[in-house]
Amino acid sequence: MDNIAIVNAILLFGSALMLVGILSSLVASRFGAPLLLVFLVIGMLTGTDGPGGVAFDNYRITYLIGSLSLAIILFDGGLRTRLAHVHGALVPAIVLATVGVLLTGGIVGLFAAWALNLKLVEGLLVGATVASTDAAAVFFLIRSSGMQLQRRVNATLEIESSTNDPVAVFLTVLLVGLVSAQGGDGEGIAVIGRFLQEAVIGAAAGVAGGFALAFVLNRVDLPSGLHPLFVVVGVIALYALAAVMHGSGFLAVYIAGIIVGNKQVRALPSIIAFTDTVTWLCQIVMFIVLGLLVTPSQLLPSLPAAFAIAALLIFVGRPLAVALCLAPFGFKPKEIAFVGWVGLRGAVSIFLAAIPTLAHAPNAQIYFNVAFVVVIVSLIVQGWTITPLAKRLGLAVRKTTRVVHRVEIDLPGQLAQEMVGYTVTPKCPILARDSLPKWARAIMVVRDDAILDPDNAGSLRPGDYAYFLAAPERVAELDGLFASTETAGARPALGEFPLRGDVALATLAELYGLAVAPDDQTRTVADVFASRFENEPAVGDVASFGPATLIVRGVDDGRVARAVLRIEDEGETIATQGFADGGAAQKAGVRIAELVAVLRKRLGFA
C-alpha cells in the first residue's frame, strides 16, 4: 500500500507542477516575460535549493525526457516548414544553421577555454552546447506582443532554429567523444567517422520515415481522431530506430516532418494542431525537469566566467557569425542586426550540456553549470528586448488577429479536395466580395437552422455557416476570407484603407507623401510584393513606406489582389493631441474624415 501511496503522490506532484506551468503562461503573457524562463524558474524553486526541496539528480531520466521532447519539437518544426514559402530564405538559413553554429561555437569555445582554464577541445565543447538557438522562446514573444516579422526574416529564423539543433547535437557528441577519447589521434578520427555516419544514416532514415508516415496516413483507414496520435508515436519510433542504427534521430525526425508537411496527407490540420499542443507539453516538461536538475548553490564558483561567456556570445559571437553568414545573400544591415540579436538559448543547450555527464567526461559539471547560466542570461537580456528591437528596426508591424472559426471534414477516397466549414462573422472580408474565388466551390449554407443550397441562399450573411470544397493548399487563403480582423495590441492604427493590388505607388506617393524611389513610381502594390519576396506573396506580408505600411489581405494566382494601407499612430490620438478644446478636436476629426474620403476615391478602395 505504501508503494501505491508514493505513486499517487508522485502523480499529484507532477500534475500540480504542470498546472502551475500552464497557468504561469498567463502571467508571462501579461508582463512580456520569456515563458520558458518561467518554466525553468518553477523547476528551480521546486528543486534542492528552492522551497520545494526536491532532490533530483537523475541525468539518465533527464536525457530520456529531453530526447523525446526534442524529437517531437523538431518534427513539429519540420511539419510547419513550407518549402514553397521559404525558397528565398532556405539557403541563408541552412548556412546559418551549419556554418553559423560552427563559427559561434568556435568563437565562444576559444574564449571559454581561456576563461575557465580548460583545454582547447574542452572549451570548444562549452561553445558547442550553447551554439544553437531556441525558436519557441523567440516566436512566443513576437506573437504574444501582437507583432509579425517580415517574411524573409521570419522564415530565416524559423528554418535556422529548426535545423541548427541537429547540427549542435552532432557537434556536441563529436566533442564529447574527443574529450573522453583515450586513444589519441586515431580515436579522434574514428569519432569523426561516426559523426559522418550518423548524419548519413539519419538523413536516409528521415526521408524513408517521412514517406512511410505519409503513405500510411493516406492508405490506411484509421479511426477518426487517431491520425495525430499515430504520427506522434511514429515520430518517437523513427527517432529510436535511427538512433539504434547509429544514425541521428534528431535529423531523421526533422526531415520526416518536412516531408509530411509538404505532401498531401489526410487529416493534416488536426495533426498540426495536435503536435502544437504536444510541443507545448514537451517544452513545459523539459524546462521544469531541467530546472529541477540544477543546484543553484553549485553555480557560484563558475558564475563570473559564465557571465563573461554569455556576454561574449550575445554581443560578439552570435552577431559576428550571423554577419559573416548572411552578408553574401544581400540581407540589409538592420536584418543582419536583428537576426544576430535573436539568438535565445533554451532547453537544447542545457540538454546538450547534460550529455558529458552521461558520458563521464572530465569537468562535466562545469559544462552544465555554464550552459545553465548562459540560458538564463539569454532569456532575460534578449528575451525582453526582441520585440522593441523589431519595432525600432522596422522589421515588424502590429499583427491583425485573424479569428477563424473553421471545421474540416475528411473526404475518404481522395486527397485533391478538402471540405471546410466557416462561421460567417460581421467582420469577415467575404461579405465585401461579390463572388467566391474560382478555386472554391460552395456546397451548402446553414442559416437559421435550415440547410440551404448555395444558389437559394444567395449572399452570405453574418451568422451563416458556409461549407466549401477547396484544394488543401488553398485553405489558408480561404481562411483569410472568413477571418474576423480585430487589431491586436493596445493602440490602434490611425487608419486602415483597403485597396486593390493594381494601384500604382505613384498614387500613394502623391496622396500621402510616401517616400517612393523614382524607379518605383510606375510599379503597383502587387509588383512591390512580387519583387520584395523571393517566392509567392502570402496573406500577412508587409512592406513599409515611412509612416505607412502595406499589408497583404488577399492573393489570387500568386499575385497580391487586395491589400490595406495602414497609417500607424506613433503618438497621442490625432483627434485630441495639441488641442485645448473639443471644438478643435472636432475639426481635426473632420479633416481626417476628408482624408479618408479622398483616399477611397483616388485609390479605388473596395
pLDDT in tens, 324-333: 999 998 888 9
Whether 488 contacts 401, CB under 8 Å: yes
The CATH number of domain 400-481, selected from 3.90.1300.10, 3.40.50.720, 3.30.70.1450, 3.40.50.300: 3.30.70.1450
How many percent of the chain have pLDDT more than 90? 18
Distance CA 227, CA 249 (A): 22
How many percent of the chain have pLDDT more than 70? 77
Distance CA 43, CA 46 (A): 5
Reported as a single tens digit per residue, the pLDDT across 473-506 is 777 777 777 876 554 333 334 456 778 888 887 7
Which grid coordinates belong to 240?
Answer: 529510436
* Number of other CB atoms surrounding residue 295 within 10 Å: 19
pLDDT at 395: 77
Structural element, H or E, at residue 368: helix 364-381
Domain ranges of the chain: 1-31, 32-44+58-398, 400-481, 491-603
With a threshold of 0.85, does the pTM exceed it?
Answer: no
Q: What is the mean pLDDT of residues 59-73?
A: 85
Which grid coordinates belong to 418?
Answer: 478538402
Average pLDDT of every residue of the chain: 78
What b/e readout covers 445-484, taking b as 16+ CB neighbours within 10 angstroms?
bbbeeeeeebeebeebeeebbbbbbbebebbebbebbbbb
Strand partners, 403: 484
Range from 216-230, 384-398, 488-502, 568-582 carrying the lowest mean pLDDT: 568-582
Distance CA 79, CA 82 (A): 8
Half-sphere exposure of 599 (CA within 13 A, CB side): 20
Whether 163 contacts 131, CB under 8 Å: no
pLDDT exceeds 90 at position 155: no
Distance CA 37, CA 347 (A): 10
Whether 383 contacts 138, CB under 8 Å: no
Whether 367 contacts 353, CB under 8 Å: yes
pLDDT at 305: 93
Handedness of CA 304, 310, 316, 321 (dihedral sign): positive
Q: In CATH, what number does 491-603 get?
A: 3.30.465.10
pLDDT exceeds 90 at position 2: no
What b/e readout covers 382-411, taking b as 16+ CB neighbours within 10 angstroms?
bbeebbebbeebebbbbbbeeebeeebeee
Whether 116 contacts 310, CB under 8 Å: no
pLDDT at 188: 55
Tell me, which fold does domain 32-44+58-398 have in CATH?
A: Na+/H+ antiporter like fold (1.20.1530)
Reported as a single tens digit per residue, the pLDDT across 259-280 is 998 888 888 878 888 888 888 8
Distance CA 422, CA 361 (A): 57
What b/e readout covers 63-91, taking b as 16+ CB neighbours within 10 angstroms?
eebbbbbbbbbbbbbbbbbbeebbebbbe
| 151 contact partners, CB below 8 Å, separation of at least 6 | 85, 533, 538, 540, 541
* Number of other CB atoms surrounding residue 272 within 10 Å: 16
